[in-house]
């Protein structure tokens, strides 16, 4: 068996008023997930729980993201979350806070047999 990368999907999420990095990251993940309807595991005759999912999140304050809440976005599969510096913090003109933008990349792999 060999792990094969089969899908990469991208998303953008924001927290417009609350300054919540986790919520912006959740919205980025949902944006990526909700823009596809690929039945990837079924296409290869594998159960959905066998999918290996790596989610990479970019925000300006990676330590402010709750990875446990991000994992809960995925209904199945083995999920690994990596949060790094990225995204944007856009200050509000009146100085009352900022809009947070998070970027997400979701990489899905399956362990597939290879023919020699």
Mean pLDDT, to the nearest integer, of 30-53?
84
Whole-prediction pTM:
0.89
Q: CA-CA distance, 41 to 60, in Å (whole number)?
A: 33
Summarised one tens digit per residue, pLDDT across range 86-109 is 999 999 888 888 999 999 999 999
The dihedrals phi and psi of 31, each to the nearest 5 degrees, come to -60, -45
What band does 1 get if pLDDT is binned at 50, 70 and 90?
low
The rounded percent of the chain whose pLDDT value lies above 90 is 64
3-class SS at 66? Answer: coil
Is the pLDDT at 115 greater than 70, yes or no? no
Name the percent of the chain in helix, strand, coil, to the closest 5. 25, 40, 35
Distances (CA, A) of 4 to 12, 53, 56, 104, 109: 25, 12, 18, 20, 5
Please give the residue that has the higher pLDDT: either 56 or 42.
56
Q: What pLDDT band is residue 30 in, cutting at 50, 70 and 90?
A: very high
> What's the half-sphere exposure (Cβ side, CA atoms, 13 Å) at 76?
12
pLDDT at 107: 94
Q: Which of 44, 51, 5, 9 has its CA nearest to residue 30?
A: 9
Q: Hunting for tokens 């999420």 — which residue is that?
A: 13
Say if CB 64 and CB 37 are below 8 A apart.
no
Give 115's Cβ-side CA count (13 Å radius): 0
């Amino acid at each position: 068996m060999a792990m094969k990368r089969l899908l990469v999907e991208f998303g953008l999420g924001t927290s417009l008023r609350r300054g919540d990095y986790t919520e912006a990251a959740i919205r980025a993940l949902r944006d990526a997930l909700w823009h596809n309807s690929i039945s990837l595991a079924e296409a290869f005759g594998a159960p959905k729980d066998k999918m290996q999912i790596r989610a990479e999140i970019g925000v300006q304050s990676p330590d402010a993201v709750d990875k446990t809440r991000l994992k809960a976005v995925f209904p199945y599969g083995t999920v690994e979350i990596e949060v790094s510096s990225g995204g944007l913090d856009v200050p509000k003109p009146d100085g009352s806070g900022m809009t947070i933008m998070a970027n997400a990349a979701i990489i899905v792999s399956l362990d597939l047999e290879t023919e020699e």
